[in-house]
Structure 1
Amino acid sequence: MKLRNWQASCISKALKHYLNGNSHFLALATPGSGKTLMASQLADQLLKNDLIDLIICFSPSTIVSQDFSQSLQLIINERFDGLLGAKGHSLTYQSLQYLDRDFWLLFDRYRVFVIFEEIHHCAGSTIDNANAWGEQIILNIQNKAKYTLALTGTPWRSDNTPIVLSNYMPSNKISCDYVYGLSEAIQDDVCRVPQIFAVDNNNITVADGIEIKTFSSFKCLLSESIVQYQEIIENEKVVKYVISSAHKKLNLIRVKNSDAAGLIVTSSVEHARQVSELMKDCFNEDAAVVTYRENEPTSIIQQFRHANTKWIISVGMISEGTNIPRLQVCCHLTNIKTEMHFRQVLGRILRVTISKNQEAVMYMPAEPKLLEYAHRVKQDIPFEADVVKFENMIKPVKANDDELGKAITFNKVKGVSSNKGLELNGANIGYTATSVSNSTEEDFLTSSYEKVVNIFGKFEQESLALGVSELSAPRL
């Protein structure tokens, strides 16, 4: 399999790093650039040169773990199921806490190469500041593995704790052994140039009893903490407009790419269900829905990857590491507002394919933090490009759909809000991104993205179930 230039360069540097006596290598590569293939090829070369005996891979979710397993098995041409005689195993980070002494003895008896996908989920420079996954890595892997490879597309944590196994410069920036950014990936035709559409409004009215307040943008509205962002992304009119624009764009792309697909990232299971119903009622589209409440969420993602279905709706299940190349449009309708999550969601639509149309389009409300992240993405583009655009919410997306242009009623009664009363008309075309601190939103999906995949939600339940099944078979 032909490697991209950056992949070959990274492998060469990682091999030299290892032969020079180093035990850890951190590679930063932009989402969608092909980290899985690079790591698999490196593992293959280490095996062929008799530098290692076994390979263990850890990933943040079941779907990514399965993808790594398949890639390693294909490249190495050996079984990679963790059973006797296999060359290794691919596990979730959650399983770290349930591996027994017999498993860890492998590191004493064999030369083990460990791959950490999306290493930023594992925190800790010492046991004192480590999270659950980082603690296990420090105790059982850090000084025992023959060689470790850490991969990330977003090398930071929202809680500002250090990433496990990493070194930091005096400026508190992480020290990477290899860097392949979005700018380089676009120049090499590895990643697409994104377009980010921010939906805003310059005539917002909030009725609180007899008091009526008007606002000129979402930024102004949110700065006074009268309406939380959660209420905006769950407002039917806002959601309908954002999805209408995205749906229209996807249909245009599918004229050339018949299998192109879209991703809608929502804030909760209930929110996902509501969006699914809206897709059916307004656009006659049966979207796939993947949340922790589905019986087999990994199977849903796998089926969607190879299907022709237009849309998939997710709550934290399709973000980092999940490879669905046909995704080209996404809607950011989640209340997770960290830059890491923003870039990981955007990364799902950036992977270049052989299709004729290579557009990558994200739609989102014009929330200040998200706009700040969008403008930072623009700075990563290696040439002048109109990356961030603004869409007028007042105009109907379809000529016969005047509902999208009507006012939305949103009443606030004694601080308790309903989904009716936010009157939206007009649009703010000349919006400038500015960071604004909103009121604290105490929700398990908003506290931080790391917590979603690290402690709470489906990732804990799904990975725990997988961890049990992984450990039930005879292991290496």
Structure 2
Amino acid sequence: MTQINLRPWQAQAISKAITWLVETRVDRHFLINAAPGAGKTICASVIARRLIEADEIDRVIVIAPRSEVVRQWAEEYKVVTGRSMTKVTGAHAEIEDYGTDLCATWSAIQGLQDGFQQVCRASRTLVICDEHHHAAVEAAWGAKADGAFTDARYVLVLTGTPIRSDGQEPVWFGYDSLGRIDHPQEGTYTLSYGDAVDLGYCRPITFHRHEGRFSVTLPDGDNIAVSGTAETELGTELKRIKGLQQALDFYKLACTPKYLADGETPDVESYQASMLQWGIAKLNDIRHLIPNAGGLVIAPNIAVAEYMAALLEQLEGERPVLVHSQLANAEARISSFKNTDKRWLVSVSMISEGVDIKRLRILVYLPYAQTELAFRQAMGRVVRSLGDNDYSRAYVVMPTHRILEEYARRVELEMSPAARKDNPRPTTKTCPTCEAQNPLNAAHCSDCGHEFPSRPEKFKACGECGSLNPFSADECQVCGHSFRTDFQITLNEALRLGAIVRGMDLEEDEVREGEDNKAEILSDVLASGDDALIKVVKQLPEESWGRLRRILNRT
């Protein structure tokens, strides 16, 4: 069993949890509300080890949001406790017969409620509930979790974003009038993001509000200006065109792919390309300090993710790692990226929560879900620290958008004034082999001879004074001229609202929901022997299984 060097907050949380659960025994639930990246997994695993050593529990069950997080849990839990943890991601495992500690996805609970219930009744069990916002009382997962773990001896709840976007209350806890989880202070440990930054557990973050103005060309040749900072004014005749106002929403335009005349080649003069170019320039700066630093793109749907990946390949000359639910071995792709020095990872929602890739420092954020919960979860992917000598910052590149701006401002207010100040551009670069500092223009490390990759910095010329500026500059560093650009787009392009599959908008969550429900429902239908019903369900496309589950739950 490995000796764990705990952070002070982890030691305090562990002591408080043991006192609450074992000594006072007022309630069997303990809540840890700590910022993403602060180290909740290690903290919870040590609590489990202490309860095992005190002969308070026999088994541990962890419920996590997705398969990659389940794998991470099993690895870190074994390091801390020395005990193996069986990973359960399907809905038909005989978990009561395993006799080991278990880690399962939230979706797996739906088909394994009875099995989990038997485990909790047969053994003194600690349940660790990771990303607790998934377990809303009225949602299927919350209802199943409440039934499955009614007989658990202890429940340890972990969250970094305790409020669900739909307003529903997660199972086991209520909320007070201010929207805070209503649980006794003695049974709760809280570490805010601002506290985590001040203590050096998380990296400070800078939000780049990426401005832009779209010029939408109508069929009659007229142009309409759309920006993220002003309302779009339409004349009386234009207001009569059905769907036009919705199509001219700035955020929708920011998420609309733009191609060249061939309809296949991404336009490197598009708004999305300008976001990526800003992120590329900033990643280049960070990699002077952290040679393997990486960037993450979160897209609103699969089509835009593929478009952004193709754009990155054009801009960088290197194909990024692309992961989404329709690609084979998506979890293996994530693991591979984590263990390489590849520059960019592009996804929809598979990396938005729980996945621990400490080298990520840039987030290009074009999400489908515009909620504070999703915003903070995504932000948590790039604020993790690499250790005591990590003085880098995290950066989020996002459209200038009222809702996202509000979330960013709240995060900024959590940080101290000193933490809000951006780092100056680096003046040296770190050798990835021996960590020696070298001049930025060095071709080889002066200490070990390592050859630095050749990546000439891109500059842009100011149209007013001709001065060269870093590509990420928002305005000329000499004369102050704004570099804001009008992005040309046609009405037909503006009306393309995402990936259309069989006439429907197909989002990542719907694909994942379909995958989670298909095996269980299909098994039950085949077992019924009803030929007519079997014939119908065999024709269902992947994305329809989740919708079918919701329909069945209403009946």
Q: TM-score, with normalisation over the residues of structure 2?
A: 0.70
Instruction: Read off the aligned partner of 1:92 and give its amino acid letter.
Output: T
- Identical-residue share of aligned pairs (%): 26
Q: How far did residue 44 of structure 1 move? A: 0.4
Name the SS for the 2:103 alignment partner.
strand
Closer, same or farther: CA 155–281 of 1 in aligned 2, 3 Å: same
Closer, same or farther: CA 460–10 of 1 in aligned 2, 3 Å: farther
Closer, same or farther: CA 418–163 of 1 in aligned 2, 3 Å: closer
Aligned to 2:395: 361
1:133 equivalent to 2:127? Answer no
Q: How far did residue 335 of structure 1 move? A: 2.7
1:379 equivalent to 2:389? Answer no
1:461 equivalent to 2:515? Answer yes
Match of 1:174 among 156, 176, 181: 181
Name the SS for the 2:151 alignment partner.
coil
Name the SS for the 1:231 alignment partner.
helix
Closer, same or farther: CA 159–219 of 1 in aligned 2, 3 Å: farther
Larger Rg: 2
Aligned to 2:253: 231
Match of 1:160 among 160, 167, 181: 167
Q: Distance in 2 between matches of 1:369 and 1:385?
A: 23
Closer, same or farther: CA 167–251 of 1 in aligned 2, 3 Å: same
**Native 8 Å contact 2:229 2:401 kept in 1:** yes
Q: How far did residue 444 of structure 1 move? A: 6.1
Q: Distance in 2 between matches of 1:220 and 1:5?
A: 49
Q: Distance in 2 between matches of 1:324 and 1:465?
A: 30
Deviations 1:440-470 (A, max 9, x none): xx9564xxxxxx65xx22265269779x9xx
The farther-off stretch of 39-48 and 205-214 is 205-214
Aligned to 1:411: 490
Aligned to 2:224: 213
Q: Distance in 2 between matches of 1:39 and 1:418?
A: 45
Instruction: Read off the aligned partner of 1:56 and give its amino acid letter.
Output: I
Closer, same or farther: CA 170–268 of 1 in aligned 2, 3 Å: closer
- Give the number of equivalent residue pairs: 424
Q: How far did residue 174 of structure 1 move? A: 1.3
Gaps of 5+ in 2: 88-94, 235-244, 259-269, 424-459, 464-468, 473-482, 498-503, 523-555
Root mean square deviation of aligned Cα: 3.1
Match of 1:8 among 5, 8, 11: 11
Deviations 1:386-410 (A, max 9, x none): 4699xx99988649xxxx9764322
Aligned to 2:47: 42
Q: How far did residue 267 of structure 1 move? A: 1.2
The farther-off stretch of 375-384 and 285-294 is 375-384
Name the SS for the 1:196 alignment partner.
strand
Match of 1:251 among 280, 284, 289: 284
Q: Distance in 1 between matches of 2:377 and 2:322?
A: 19
Aligned to 1:200: 211
Q: TM-score, with normalisation over the residues of structure 1?
A: 0.81
Q: How far did residue 26 of structure 1 move? A: 1.5
**Native 8 Å contact 2:32 2:189 kept in 1:** yes
**Larger relative contact order (C-alpha < 8 A, sep ≥ 6)?**
1
The farther-off stretch of 100-109 and 30-39 is 100-109
Instruction: Read off the aligned partner of 1:207 and give its amino acid letter.
Output: T
Name the SS for the 1:58 alignment partner.
strand
Aligned to 2:300: 267
Q: How far did residue 185 of structure 1 move? A: 0.4
Aligned to 2:201: 190
Q: Distance in 1 between matches of 2:112 and 2:495?
A: 47
Q: Distance in 2 between matches of 1:459 and 1:134?
A: 16
Deviations 1:149-179 (A, max 9, x none): 1111101111101111113224442125111
Aligned to 2:370: 337
Aligned to 1:73: 78
Gaps of 5+ in 1: 125-129, 420-441, 446-451, 469-476
Closer, same or farther: CA 464–54 of 1 in aligned 2, 3 Å: farther
Deviations 1:333-391 (A, max 9, x none): 223211111111111111111355412111011011011111111111023554699xx
Q: Distance in 2 between matches of 1:338 and 1:79?
A: 36
Closer, same or farther: CA 50–382 of 1 in aligned 2, 3 Å: same
**Native 8 Å contact 1:94 1:460 kept in 2:** no
Q: How far did residue 80 of structure 1 move? A: 1.6
Alignment of 1:4-153 (within 5 A): 4-19=7-22, 20-21=24-25, 22-81=27-86, 87-99=100-112, 101-124=114-137, 130-141=138-149, 143-153=150-160
Deviations 1:276-309 (A, max 9, x none): 1111122202100010011111111111111010
Closer, same or farther: CA 465–323 of 1 in aligned 2, 3 Å: farther
Name the SS for the 1:295 alignment partner.
coil
**Native 8 Å contact 1:233 1:333 kept in 2:** yes
**Native 8 Å contact 1:264 1:330 kept in 2:** yes
Q: How far did residue 418 of structure 1 move? A: 6.1
The farther-off stretch of 357-366 and 171-180 is 171-180
Aligned to 1:432: none
**Native 8 Å contact 1:219 1:368 kept in 2:** no
Closer, same or farther: CA 302–135 of 1 in aligned 2, 3 Å: same
Closer, same or farther: CA 150–195 of 1 in aligned 2, 3 Å: same
Instruction: Read off the aligned partner of 2:143 and give its amino acid letter.
Output: E
